[in-house]
Structures are given as structure tokens and as C-alpha cells.
Amino acid sequence: MKVDVQALYEHWMPKYLQVQPAKIRITILYRFMLASVLCFVLDYQLLAMFLCLNLFEARRPSSSLGGIFLWTFFSVYTSVIMLIIRAGTAGYGWLLCNIHYSDPILYRNRRDRFADEWPLLFRILSTLLFITAMTSILFSSFVDTKETGYLLTCGLLCGITHFVTNFEKTFERFPMPILQIKFHEALINLWWRTLKRSGREAFYQTLRFSPIYWYWTGRLGNTITQPGLHLQCWLLSTLILTKLHMVRRLYGLVMQRPLPLIIDSPELHENPKTCLFNIIVGRVMHFYSTMQMVPLPRDLQVNNLMLPIEMVLSAGRIHGFRLLATREFYAAMSGKLCNKLFVLKDMKNIHSNWAELRDLLISDIEEFVQRLQNCTQKFHPKNRTVNVKTPKAGLRPLMLPSPKKLPVWRNACHQFSRPVEWYFLKWLNVLGLFLVNKLIGLKRHLLEQLPASEHLHRYFYEEDVLAELNHELRCGEPMVWMLQGLVSVFMRSIKEDRYGIVQNDLPLVFETLHKVEDQLNSATLLIHKHRCNCLKTSPSHELLLTAIRRCQCRMLTTFGPHLDFILGRCDLKRALEERMELIY
């Protein structure tokens, strides 16, 4: 029986990975494997800690430690249960990675969001309950007590608590690291902070859950005199919560590690023979060459994890990776890698590196501007041209203008000569407005008293007016770092661009930044106008607006005195001069 490898690959591999270059796909899989291995090591650490606290004997330290070592690493029972737990942990990590890398989805109402997200929520909850149940069974088997059901229930409650805390409202991507510190230092700090947090959460959870459980089982009085059982419950809950928190953060820490970027042609890295095994061999050879202080061969350099900037910036349909790629692009353009853009290779091909990178950046930014423009134009009424005949100067119209229509109560007032009737009709008008407001309030009160089904229908099917605009703003989050990276290139070009390779494109960059700012200002007006009719405002708008204002200020502060030479006389120059007056 032949196995169709391609069919299995297309079935299990997400679509956002199938369309990526082989180098990016293998980089993500390599990081996923590294994070999974770290989670497997974490399972043994937690098991060893639990066994030390339960089976260690001070009278026989060497023999007890030897038994703990054997039970942890060389027990068939432990190995089988650990294998099952590893499968659940890897599945949970795979779901987290799918949430992180998938593109934002457009939801026009809550019903569409719920219908699309509940299968993923169900899979996450099932995976968490599976992991906590198997971990509780493994840990409780080493406890000399008959209340294993109590410990198992505590473990399941930990999984439910973690699910409600992290996945109740929305799916969150892995956080972007603020500071780039060493990996082992980050692991140590993460381990200690997570352990303290889990201990506090498990303590309050044990205080709330234990009386309810024993009261429900009718054995509340018997368990008060067993503090050791409650202590084991707290220890088990602490370790399970630590595991769940650490798995989520370990995958985030590994997946959000800095990308090793280089300035090179992407065609050199599109090798069909590239696979995960070759990548691992390349890493080993790279370590060996570094220890021996010899250069790495060119044929093995293709098989390492170095990624060209153009390759990572052109990756599509993989939102989490694009965020990381643009962040690393901004860091690289602020560091030493930017110097290679200003290197003069030969007189025939001066702008090779910069021209390709510039075209890629400008095309992405213009595409984002076009999408925003399409969204904002839907809210503006179409300009209808009406043929109005203006009278010529010096001619008198043949017909008198029609008298202006007055309200009913004003016409009635003009019919009376006495002011008493005028005040009376005005009082009637105020009374009518008062009654109308009362009727509106009564209608609102009656709507609140309708059956719950009506409220649920409105809650789920209420359409978000700004759904499409917020969706485009969320998709444009990588522009926050891409724009700042583009501006950093021009900031560096003042002292390092000896041949004028980059500064010839200053007019194009000024025009592009001005277009982005105009579209974001239009989006700001729409958001303030329709704030009451939208379900939720996207925070991406504030990030993009802050980034473009920062870019404009940096460019105008540096190149503002030379706008006459850069742009000449045009409307863009006048708009930028008005903007400079606000800065200074």
C-alpha cells in the first residue's frame, strides 16, 4: 500500500505555510520543533520536582534520590504517560502557532465571529483538558492517598481556569519581545516568574474549590483534619498551571526570536533540496566551523537559517511572521546591516540591493494605501453633478423668488395680531417635543422588556459599520515597523551614503509618507464619526498613526531645510511646509 506523501503534506500542513518559500517554512518548523523539545524537558522537570517534594526522605537521601531518578527517566509507566502528554503538548503548541501566524479575518457581526471561532475554541479546551487530565493521573499515581479523584478534579479545574483566563474574549498572538536578551537568561527569568504566579493562582483556587468539593461529596468534616491532602492539591495545581503558562510562553519566546537577516538575492536561497534535515546539518557544520575558526563553505551556507530581507518582507498570508520580519527589518536598518545598502559594487549595477528593496517596500505601502482608500470612499456620498443655470450679470429675473416656507406654528402666529396666541402656540410646540421624547423613552424601555431571544438576535446580528476598515488596519500592522525601517535607511544615508544611492529617492518617499498620513487621517475622522455604530475599535489605528507621525517628524526635521532642492515647487512642498510649522 503506497502512501501519498504530497496528499498528507497538503492535509496536515496549514495553507499559510504551503504558499511560503521553503526557507521560511523550514525556519518556522525548526522553531516549532525547538519549542516542543523545550516543553518536553519541562515535563520531566515538573515531574522530578513533584517526586522530590513527595518521595524524598531525609534519612535516606541517596537511595530516595536514586528512586526518584529511576521513576522519572527509566520507568516504562512514566515513559508511556509522558509520550501521551507530549502529543497533547505538541498539539496545543500547534494550535497556538496557527493562531499566531494566521491572517486577520473580517467579521461583520458577532454571529460570524462565533461561528468561525467556536471550533478552534473547542479544540483548545479539549487539548487543555487532555493535558491536565493525563498530567494529574501521572502525578497522583505517586501519591499515597485514596483521594485520586480529588486531585484529578483539581487538575481539570486548572485547565478550565487557564482556558477562561487566556481564551475567553479573543485570541492573542505571541507578544513581541521588548528587549533582546540572551535566550538562557530569558528562560530562567520566565521560569521563576511563572512559578511564583502559578503558586498564587493555585493557592486561591484551592481555597475556593476544596470546601465546595468536599461539601458536595458529604465529607467536609473528615478532610479538615488532613492538611497534607490540601497541600498536595495546591502543589499539583501549582505545577499544572506552571506547565500551561510555560508552554504558551515557551512557544512565544522561541517563535519570536530575532530572525537572522542578510542582504542577499532570494534566488540563491530557493534551493529545491532544502529540507529540515539539511538545515540541522547546516547548523551543526556552522557550529563546527565557528569552533575551528574556519570559513563556512558556500554550499552549506544555503542550508543554514540565514534569510534574505526581501524574502521575509515579501512573505504573504502569514501575519505573525510579517510582524516579526518588519520588526527585525527596522532593527537591521538601525544597525550594521544597513551599511551594505550603500556599498558600490560596480558602475554598471549601482543600485542593485537598494532598488529591489525600495520597490518591494513602496509597492507594499501603496497597496495598503489603496486598500484604505477603497474603505474610506464607501462612506462618502458620490458627488452628483447638478446642472444649475446661473443668471448672467446685469439681467433681472422675470419671475419673483418663491416665498420661504415657515413652520406651521409660525404661520399660525402671523395670523394673530395679539401676542397671547403666539405664546400659546409656542407652548404647544414645546409640549409636543416633550411628549415625543417621552414616547422615545417609553419605546426604549419596552424594547428592554422584550424576551431574551430578541436581545440575543440583536446582539449576534448587529452589523459593525467599521468592520472592513478595522480589518484593513489590522492587516496593515506590519506597516508600523516597515515605515520606520524605511525612514531609518534615509537617516543613515546622511553620513554613510557616499555615492547618493539612496537619497535620489527622497521625493518618492516624501510622497508615499504623505499619502499614508492622509489616508490615516481620513480613517480617524470616520472612526470618530461612527464610533457609536461600531462594535469594537481596532488599536492598530493608533499604532499606525503614531508611527507615520514619527516618520514624518524625523524626515522633516532632517530634510526639511532642503525641500526646495528635493521637491521643487509643488503642492506637496507646500503641504510639508505647513506641517513643519506645526513641528517647530
d(CA 144, CA 232): 11
d(CA 134, CA 141): 11
The residues that bridge with 261 in the sheet, in sequence order, are: 307
The backbone torsions φ and ψ at residue 104, rounded to the nearest 5 degrees and listed phi first, read -60, 145
Best CA proximity match to 329, nearest among 307, 311, 313, 352:
313
Please, are residues 263 and 353 in contact by the beta-carbon 8 Å criterion? yes
Residues 6+ apart with CB under 8 A from 141: 77, 148
Would you state the torsion angle of the CA atoms of residues 258, 262, 265, 271, taken in this order, to the nearest 10 degrees? Answer: -60
pLDDT computed for residue 417 by the predictor: 46
Would you state the torsion angle of the CA atoms of residues 124, 127, 128, 130, taken in this order, to the nearest 10 degrees? Answer: 160
Best CA proximity match to 517, nearest among 557, 554, 484, 549:
549
* Residue predicted with more confidence, 233 or 247: 247
pTM: 0.80
Give per-residue burial for 348-387: e unless 16+ CB within 10 Å, then b. Answer: eeebebbebbbeebbebbeebbebbeebbeeeeeeeeeee
Among the residue ranges 10-19, 21-30, 91-100, 270-279, the one predicted with the least confidence is 270-279
d(CA 54, CA 28): 39
The backbone torsions φ and ψ at residue 139, rounded to the nearest 5 degrees and listed phi first, read -70, -40
pLDDT digits (tens, 9 = 90+) for 41-98: 999 999 998 888 888 777 788 888 888 888 888 889 999 999 999 999 999 999 999 9
pLDDT computed for residue 231 by the predictor: 85
Cell of 322: 510579517
Measured in whole angstroms, how far is the alpha carbon of residue 9 from the centre of its chain? 27
Please, are residues 131 and 88 in contact by the beta-carbon 8 Å criterion? yes
d(CA 324, CA 327): 5
Please, are residues 338 and 488 in contact by the beta-carbon 8 Å criterion? yes
Best CA proximity match to 323, nearest among 338, 310, 333, 313:
313
d(CA 65, CA 502): 65
pLDDT digits (tens, 9 = 90+) for 235-267: 999 999 999 999 999 999 999 998 888 888 777
Among the residue ranges 8-12, 157-161, 442-446, 557-561, the one predicted with the least confidence is 8-12
